[in-house]
């Protein structure tokens, strides 16, 4: 039997945990993961790629399970020394083990390797069991536009009317997404090109999956790279998504704050609508079974199954349900 080729678009923690389940549910599949790089940030001169690293560490067995990002068994000697110098940004902690990844990445980028080649080299060590591709080799950064003063920087003399754009990580990690976002801007996305292999992985897939990642700041930036959304929409393979919203709340993280910023309701049906142009199937949790009719009215086959990724078995059952839904819509 031919090997099943699966291409998934993924953000950080939710995407990684789903992918771990997928590898258990379909151990013989050939899986390509297109990772979000728009929350990459340069700190202390180092290029940090949180979502790529979260996928790589989770699937490679190196993740700190309790928080879902960073390295297991981490120590923080360098962070403590940096803090003693008062070196910013202290709200974003880089552990000692994790720093080695950023040092290698930054050194290779400085030597002229594109991020896709660097990611492949890093994955040589971690053997994540998937082909991990950044969405682009170009620089794309999510910035969040907030009202000056709300972010505790001093407001302009004219009052609070002025805006300030801050890096996504500052909004997410330092401000816990508690400061209202006026807009979310994907700086550089309009000029970015899909990384080598990305469009081929979409065109050549048997199934395309959208795991339960943040729809606005994880899946959104991947689809914003010119050519990617059209490729998914035009692909022969069914595209199946998994709702990151259960019962009106994000499964984890602060997706509600990001959805509010773009005027989309924090509901399983609201997120489905955001992707309705490219989705063939959408999984919602059993508590959202009442939403299936609205999703199907938008032309997307919708099935309710348990979506809490309490352990790898639960994630594998969700992945199995996504693959079954792909089979069902393909047979139509
Ligand atoms: N998240 C935090 O809440 N605080 C941190 O200090 C932090 C550091 C960090 C370092 C490396 C890395 O790969 C991820 C890190 N994260 C941290 C998580 C991450 O910033 C976000 O959860 C994601 O970018 C959102 O997908």
Residues touching ligand 1 (Cβ under 6 Å) are: 11-12, 39, 48, 50-51, 53-54, 69-70, 92-94, 98, 169, 172-173
- The pLDDT score that the predictor gives to residue 153 is 64
Which of ligand 1's atoms lies nearest the C-alpha of 214? 26
pLDDT digits (tens, 9 = 90+) for 54-72: 999 999 999 999 999 999 9
Q: What gap in Å lies between CA 108 and CA 104, rounded to an integer?
A: 6
Q: From the CA of 247, how far away is ligand 1's center (Å)? A: 26
Chain-centroid distance of CA 212 in Å reads 9
Q: Name which residue sits closest to atom 1 of ligand 1, judged by CA.
A: 173
Angle made by CA atoms 81, 70, 10, in degrees to the nearest 5: 140
- Could you tell me which residues are beta bridge partners of residue 183? 145
Sorted by where each begins, the domain ranges of the chain are 5-136+191-330, 141-187
Which pair of tokens denotes residue 24?
A: 């258990």
For residue 105, what are the CA distances in angstroms to 10, 72, 123, 211?
A: 20, 19, 11, 26
Residue stretches of the chain with pLDDT short of 50: none
- Output the pTM of the full model: 0.96
CATH number 3.40.50.150 is the correct assignment for the domain at 5-136+191-330: no
Confidence at residue 155, expressed as pLDDT on a 0 to 100 scale: 55
pLDDT at 160: 55
Ligand 1 atom 5, closest CA: 92
Name the residue of 41, 57, 69, 174 whose CB sits within 8 Å of the most ligand 1 atoms, as the mutation to test its pocket. Answer: 69
Helices (H), ranges, 91-135: 96-110, 115-126
Protein residue with its CA nearest to atom 3 in ligand 1: 173
**Tokens matching residue 74:** 């981490």
């Amino acid at each position: 039997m031919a090997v099943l080729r699966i291409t998934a678009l993924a953000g950080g923690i939710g995407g990684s945990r789903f992918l771990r389940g997928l590898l258990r549910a379909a151990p013989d599949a050939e899986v390509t993961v297109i990772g979000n790089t728009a929350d990459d940030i340069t700190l202390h001169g180092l290029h940090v790629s949180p979502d790529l690293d979260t996928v790589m560490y989770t699937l490679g067995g190196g993740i700190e399970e309790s928080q879902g990002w960073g390295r297991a068994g981490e120590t923080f000697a360098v962070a403590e020394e940096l803090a003693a110098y008062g070196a910013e940004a202290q709200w974003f902690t880089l552990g000692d083990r994790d720093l080695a990844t950023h040092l290698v990445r930054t050194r290779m980028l400085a030597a002229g390797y594109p991020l896709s080649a660097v990611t492949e080299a890093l994955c040589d060590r971690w053997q994540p069991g998937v082909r991990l591709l950044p969405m682009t080799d170009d620089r794309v950064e999510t910035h969040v536009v907030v009202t000056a003063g709300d972010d505790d920087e001093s407001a302009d003399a004219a009052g609070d009317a002025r805006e300030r754009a801050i890096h996504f990580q500052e909004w997410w990690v330092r401000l816990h997404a508690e400061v209202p976002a006026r807009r979310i801007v994907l700086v550089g996305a309009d000029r970015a090109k899909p990384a080598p292999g990305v469009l081929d992985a979409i065109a050549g897939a048997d199934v395309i999956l959208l795991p339960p990642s943040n729809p606005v700041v994880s899946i959104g930036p991947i689809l914003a790279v010119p050519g990617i959304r059209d490729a998914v929409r035009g692909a022969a393979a069914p595209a199946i998504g998994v709702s990151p919203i259960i019962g009106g709340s994000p499964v984890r993280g602060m997706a509600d704050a990001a959805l509010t910023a773009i005027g989309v309701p924090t509901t399983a049906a609201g997120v489905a609508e955001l992707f309705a142009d490219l989705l063939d199937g959408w999984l919602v949790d059993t508590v959202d079974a009442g939403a299936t009719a609205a999703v199907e009215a938008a032309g997307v086959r919708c099935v309710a199954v348990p979506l809490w990724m309490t352990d790898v078995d639960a994630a594998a059952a969700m992945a199995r349900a996504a693959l079954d839904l792909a089979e069902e819509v393909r047979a139509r």
